[in-house]
Structure 1
């Protein structure tokens, strides 16, 4: 079996979100379960039809077990690989293999977090993560992670390629322009370049508006074999390619702060799909920080290395620009409950099904969903498409 033989063998047939923004009174598990049940219903299935499960959490080391228990399912396929925010994009290929082998028939991928409103405070959460996930060359110095890690990458990009804070601000302003057309988005107030430049500095050169939101939220999607997808009520969205690459854990272990493992995951995903960046109608990127968008546009091949700033200038990725990017508002303006990757898949599916109302990309047939985890550590790229592209 080759990766190319898996192209289009599985389709996403149901998606859902729950608790975007502030979900007062809900736990991580409850948010996950609401999303999961809604996604299964969206697929025209019952929870008893689910025999595969992919899930991950930064708050528990054995998260998949209580999820199985809470949802009342007995999966024959289980993947709880934890790669940070890219996990829910990286889950695609193992799920496709399990479906193709006949190990299971319907895979649920789900996530939930009450990061914003949880009684367990953010400071305590950061301290717990440092204990569970010590980074030997960085943790002893107690850096402000993750912002300072991404600030290093931004500073290097500025030094090496002449990128400016105004260029980074273009990314935040574009995300907000998309969010203003999305009823689910947490932040929908107007945002200008000057607003970003004059905002409170978090870690130079990143201001608070260069940094992702801290919200609650959950998301889920359901994956089945292509032949079954055609009999279900929703328009199938096919997975044409998926690849994951990890080159480092700590930001200090990157060989080049301006080049990420997305160069590898993107190349392999496009090869599996038999497409190139010029074939893509929209891109959903993990924009935990504004610098991410520039790096991933470059590394995935939408522009050359060092040209990300020019690519986003003058509303290049905003509504009406030359490439729609993060059409839900992204992690910068829509939702970011600790890990954002699953929302890149959900927005791609909704766009390809034509369900996005005011922000809908007319005639969209292809999408890239890209997840990032850790400090530019794990990268996973998915190529999704409608039936016309098969």
Structure 2
């Protein structure tokens, strides 16, 4: 018997052994994907001649920051776009998305989501929930969306009707990850289909992709297929747990310029923006991103397989194609959801002694239960779990800097939640 299993109940030991055998082919496929993506990153580091002086960063206004400029050129090349904005002043994925929306949209324009209602924090930005100042609604920027069909996929007939009849649609948004919904995240081939569809029926619309949780999780990215603008977070996949903050936008040069003017000021744009001591982490995070994302995805495959063996309803299934870090488990009622979330916290490296308590958080309409024993606050490339206290009481488990940690923590959480009386 493997030493790490010796304190597990016999039944759980047997389930873990079964899962290990079941998923090994899928883990090998992820390793192959990591090698391909890492090869691309390494090639760009070499081509752009990254050197020690690029890691120093800038202060004050941030003029002539050669390391920042080189990093943004690498991001643009990796995502096959014209330009990029990779900045510590972008504090989260939501902030990057908001910066893109405010940068591109004007009064009377319509922001249209073809992938259903966006998740909670973006609803706050738009102004469809909450009572916050400076929402898109306050600026007379309109919002519309088309619900997904009963299978959780895009309702193309309804989307076509919107695109051909509403000439105020300036931006069509695609949310790749499920957010706090129970539908599957969209794989890149599905996002490509969406992009092609929009270009056919609304060729002048800006196609924006919320790519949070998605970078490096496949060998393709939405921008390879014509997305005009895309956002992501540096303390998710692209920062590999090394970056302590920051976010990025990649896309068309004119759209990046508009976002930069929104983030800083008109006339300043990308020319300013000090990087202080962040660049070393940003570069190293990008270099490690394919590997760390792969470790998290392998952990999600194991999590799904083990919890399925324990009779839980999970999405995606362990054998499904993966396109992000998010694994859901449906509990159906609040008590077991809270107990399992607490078990994840108890097997984290930080604050393992803490019991999570449901509470209201800024940007969310419902109480949220959250386990996050991470080294960087809010880092979802590190193992965490959270979910709103509302039906169907779905817990979202994501991240993991190493497959070993996910395997140990989820197995221990299963023991604590399902075997202890």
**TM-score normalised by length of structure 2:** 0.24
More strand by share: 1
